[in-house]
Amino acid sequence: MGIPSSLPRRRFLSGVGASALAVGLAGCGGNTGRPPAGASSSGSAGASGGPKPALSQWYHEYGEDGVEAAVKRYAAAYDQASVTVRWNPGDYDKLASASLLTADVPDVFEYGNGPTLDMIRAGQVVDLTDTLGDAASQFSKPVLDAMTWEGKVYAIPQTVDMQLLFYRKSVLEKAGVAPPTTLAELTAAAKAVATKDMGGFFAGNDGGVSTLAQMLVWSAGREQLNADSTGIGFDDADGYAAFAAYRDLATSGGLVRSASADWFDAAPLTNGETAMQWTGLWTLPDVQDKLGDDFGVLPFPAVGAAGRPSVPFGSYGSIVAAKGKDPEAAKAFVRWLWVDQEADQVDFSNSYGVHIPAKPSLVPQATKIATGPGAEAAKFVDELGHAPSKLWTPATSNALTAALTRVLTKNADPRTEIGQVAATAKTEIARARG
């Protein structure tokens, strides 16, 4: 199912998609957000009392009200440079990637889970490892790892989105089942609570394929890629068993295959269509409003003997363009904003929707997630979080969902289907590495 354009974009930075490797190269518009011609771009003058450096900073168009005003307010408070913020509606990923091939690049820009491997290999983005320095330890390790390639940090995380499993406490208690910790338990629980009026588990109107195919890999205790990143990391008995186990859930009678809204909307849970639903943290206020304290949250349960619970996450990272007019001034600005200005970081995560600060120490200050299910969700990201490898391309991601679809709809052999994913991934990895 397509993603509705009205849904805030950062809600989809949840880690289940592919890295945006090799995006299109369409030309971008003339307004780059840069200051007018004649403005100074010298990085050395601001601190010494001369003209301030002039920097441009790009954001995609967030769906939440107030974000644009907030980021402009943050930038205006920086006294070491004149920062002009450009707000970019439309296909931001393509626009940002295309701009890096021109002379009219932004000095600072955000991108989902940091820059693509193409940007890094082409030298289009600046290594921020030294800029971050010891402050790296302040950030959630899985989140910062998503911004890192071969030991070098290429983006500073801004805020975090994630997906998780919501369940109705009263419904499970009435059926005498505990919150599931394994996929086998989830299957049994979904079947046990299902009635003619309420289904057991819902993860989307495609049977959960698009949201959960990747989760089956991580919760089976496997990674997208093998240890030397030359192929997939789940072409084995545990991978095959994970696909087969999800087929068991799909045929158990407990899986809700169609609901009044898709997975990203909590309506199926809150209006009683399902007892358990896979959705995003952004639905937390709606669930709290409709269900009070009659709900709990879980990671996706462990799958198989080698399994582990897991959650996907996504985070926009702030990046410095190598061809910007003043990379040193840009590095100082991104450190000031996303490392030093913790009040702004809490505001960015807490005031415009529900998000998790990239620094775990700031979670108690984010009132929407400081306690209860929100705090549990933040802990899930820090302890169980996964994001796509930069070598996991859209073609490989599509091959994975197609494979699981055939397992569910045509009773295809998981081993054969995962073998096809392996073949696609091998080709894609070789292409990505160049």
User: Which CATH number fits the domain 163-312+390-433, given the four candidates 3.40.50.1820, 3.30.300.130, 3.40.190.10, 3.10.105.10?
Assistant: 3.40.190.10
Whether the pLDDT of residue 390 is over 60: the answer is: yes
How far is 125 from 148, CA to CA, in rounded Å? 12
Q: pLDDT band at 125, cuts 50/70/90?
A: very high
How far is 144 from 173, CA to CA, in rounded Å? 38
Q: pLDDT band at 306, cuts 50/70/90?
A: very high
Q: What integer is the mean pLDDT of 318-324?
A: 97
Whether the pLDDT of residue 100 is over 60: the answer is: yes
* 219-228, 357-366, 425-434: the lowest-pLDDT one: 425-434
Q: What pLDDT is recorded for position 17?
A: 53
Q: pLDDT band at 419, cuts 50/70/90?
A: very high
Max CA separation in the chain (angstroms): 74
Q: What pLDDT is recorded for position 229?
A: 94
Please, are residues 243 and 407 in contact by the beta-carbon 8 Å criterion?
Answer: yes
Domains 54-161+314-386 and 163-312+390-433 share a fold: yes
Whether the pLDDT of residue 430 is over 60: the answer is: yes
How far is 208 from 169, CA to CA, in rounded Å? 22
Tens digit of each residue's pLDDT (9 = 90 or more) over 128-161? 999 999 999 999 999 999 999 999 999 999 999 9
- How is residue 7 written in tokens? 């849904």
How far is 365 from 79, CA to CA, in rounded Å? 26
What residues contact 409, with CB distance under 8 A and at least 6 apart? none
Q: What is the CA radius of gyration of the chain?
A: 22
Q: pLDDT band at 434, cuts 50/70/90?
A: confident
| Domain ranges, ordered by start, for the chain | 54-161+314-386, 163-312+390-433
Tens digit of each residue's pLDDT (9 = 90 or more) over 261-295? 999 999 999 999 999 999 999 999 999 999 999 99
Q: What pLDDT is recorded for position 19?
A: 58
Which amino acid, residue 133?
G
Q: If you average pLDDT over every residue of the chain, what do you get? A: 90
Whether the pLDDT of residue 34 is over 80: the answer is: no
- How is residue 247 written in tokens? 């087929």
Q: pTM higher than 0.85 for the full model?
A: yes
Q: Which residue, among 167, 166, 146, 149, has the nearest Cα to 157 in the 3D structure?
A: 146
Dihedral angle, C-alpha 181, 187, 189, 194, nearest 10 °: 150
Query: Over pLDDT 90: what percentage of the chain?
Result: 86
Superfamily for 54-161+314-386? Periplasmic binding protein-like II (3.40.190.10)
Q: Which residue, among 212, 265, 258, 255, has the nearest Cα to 397 in the 3D structure?
A: 212
Q: pLDDT band at 36, cuts 50/70/90?
A: very low
Whether the pLDDT of residue 402 is over 80: the answer is: yes
* 6-15, 98-107, 217-226, 418-427: the lowest-pLDDT one: 6-15
* 16-30, 47-61, 125-139, 407-421: the lowest-pLDDT one: 16-30
Strand partners, 22: none
Whether the pLDDT of residue 38 is over 70: the answer is: no
